[in-house]
């Protein structure tokens, strides 16, 4: 009998130990240092645009900072709305992060019911502030904004303007240009700056409404386009030879902020790790040099400053929507 009891006790002990093993494994997995698996970085635009190029550079630097792999996922469409919505809906565990772009992330929820609002993200920090610009094919005889306005007045609707979508900085710039010059242009929305560049190169559009950094990067790659003007307060150090819109008598100042965000509700330790990583990247001489080589104008904003900027810019766009709704007329 004693033998039986001993055997039963032994079996019970083995069973208990076997049961404990998965529990231990689960605990080990839960307590594994972040990141324990690849991080997905969502870009709400197609490959080859300014956001995509910077995102791929940032992914490499994040890998160094965090010690894990970072995979860029392009989710283009709806002027960025598809990617922004996917980011807002993702699980807030630090394994899905993404770039959010102004003004699109602000203007889409103003113009239509959306699956996201900037307050639904944990902001990790802004990295890029790229002024808008109008670019023409090198073969076009127009050399100034005044020349473009004169041509548009003589040929209503003939000036086609390619943008990265309805409500984008490019689209708003087009509408503000129409308002300032009393012209009528034709809007052609695309899924990203790469598509706008291709259309401008193939002369399927007259104007490529592109950010200054994007145009400079494309020129370096051999794209035959040139800037008519930049929408910054002062000439960008990246393009000191290009006059601003204001210098040419057109009062437009518009830029695209590109920063990193995650779904709202990250665990505090994970949030801190990501915020610190973004700050370290922004301060890294290597990153600055590489970003400059791809003509990405940098402007780091820590999460609180980034939130304040988004809040004030959103208020400005709400006012603009009241005066001049930017939805395309059917």
Residue 278, token pair as written in the block: 């973004």
**Taking the domains of the chain in order of start, what are their residue ranges?**
39-129+255-323, 131-248
Could you tell me the CATH superfamily of domain 131-248?
Answer: Periplasmic binding protein-like II (3.40.190.10)
**How high is the pLDDT of residue 2?**
52
Per-residue pLDDT of the chain (330 residues; tens, 9 = 90+): 555 554 454 444 444 444 444 444 443 345 679 999 999 999 999 998 889 999 999 999 999 999 999 999 999 998 899 999 999 999 999 999 999 999 999 999 999 999 999 999 999 999 999 999 999 999 999 999 999 999 999 999 999 999 988 888 899 999 999 999 999 999 999 988 999 999 999 999 999 999 999 999 999 999 999 999 999 988 988 899 999 999 999 999 898 899 999 999 999 999 999 999 999 999 999 999 999 998 999 999 999 999 999 999 999 899 889 988 887 655
Q: Which fold has domain 39-129+255-323?
A: D-Maltodextrin-Binding Protein; domain 2 (3.40.190)
CB atoms within 10 A of CB 291: 23
- One fold for 39-129+255-323 and 131-248: yes
Specify burial of residue 279 (Cβ count, 10 A radius: 0-12, 13-18, 19+).
Answer: middle
**How high is the pLDDT of residue 192?**
87
Q: Which residues does residue 129 pair with via DSSP β-bridges, in sequence order?
A: 257
What is the DSSP-derived secondary structure letter of residue 304?
H
- Parallel, antiparallel, or unpaired for β 160-163 and 207-211? parallel
**How high is the pLDDT of residue 285?**
97
What value, to the nearest 5°, has the Cα angle with vertex 220 and ends 218 and 222?
Answer: 75
Q: Cα Rg for the chain, rounded, in angstroms?
A: 25
**How high is the pLDDT of residue 28?**
39
**How high is the pLDDT of residue 133?**
96
């Amino acid at each position: 009998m004693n033998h039986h009891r001993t055997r039963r006790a032994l079996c019970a002990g083995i069973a208990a130990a076997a049961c404990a093993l998965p529990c231990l494994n689960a605990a080990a997995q839960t307590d594994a240092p972040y990141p324990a698996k690849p991080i997905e970085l969502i870009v709400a635009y197609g490959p080859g645009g300014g956001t995509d190029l910077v995102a791929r550079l940032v992914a490499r630097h994040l890998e160094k900072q965090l010690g894990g792999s970072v995979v860029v996922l392009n989710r283009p469409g709806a002027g960025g709305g598809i990617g922004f919505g996917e980011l807002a809906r993702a699980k807030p565990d630090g394994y899905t992060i993404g770039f959010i772009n102004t003004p699109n992330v602000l203007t889409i929820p103003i113009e239509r019911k959306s699956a996201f609002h900037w307050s639904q993200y944990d902001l990790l920090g802004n990295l890029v502030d790229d002024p808008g610009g109008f670019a023409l094919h090198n073969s076009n005889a127009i050399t100034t904004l005044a020349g473009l306005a004169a041509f548009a007045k003589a040929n209503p609707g003939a000036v086609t303007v390619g943008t990265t979508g309805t409500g984008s900085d490019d689209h708003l710039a087009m509408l503000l240009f129409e308002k300032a010059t009393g012209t009528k242009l034709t809007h052609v929305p695309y899924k990203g700056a790469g598509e706008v560049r291709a259309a401008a190169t193939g002369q399927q559009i007259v104007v490529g409404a592109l950010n200054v950094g994007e145009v400079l990067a494309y020129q370096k790659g051999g794209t035959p386009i040139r800037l008519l003007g930049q929408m910054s307060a002062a000439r960008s150090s990246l393009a000191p030879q290009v006059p601003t819109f204001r210098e040419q008598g057109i009062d437009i100042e518009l830029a695209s902020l590109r920063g990193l965000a995650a779904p709202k509700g990250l665990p505090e330790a994970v949030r801190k790790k990501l915020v610190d990583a973004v700050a370290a990247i922004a301060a890294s001489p290597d990153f600055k040099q590489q970003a400059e080589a791809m003509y990405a104008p940098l402007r780091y904003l820590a999460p609180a400053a980034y939130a304040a900027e988004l809040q004030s810019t959103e208020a400005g766009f709400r006012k603009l929507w009241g005066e001049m709704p930017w939805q395309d007329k059917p």
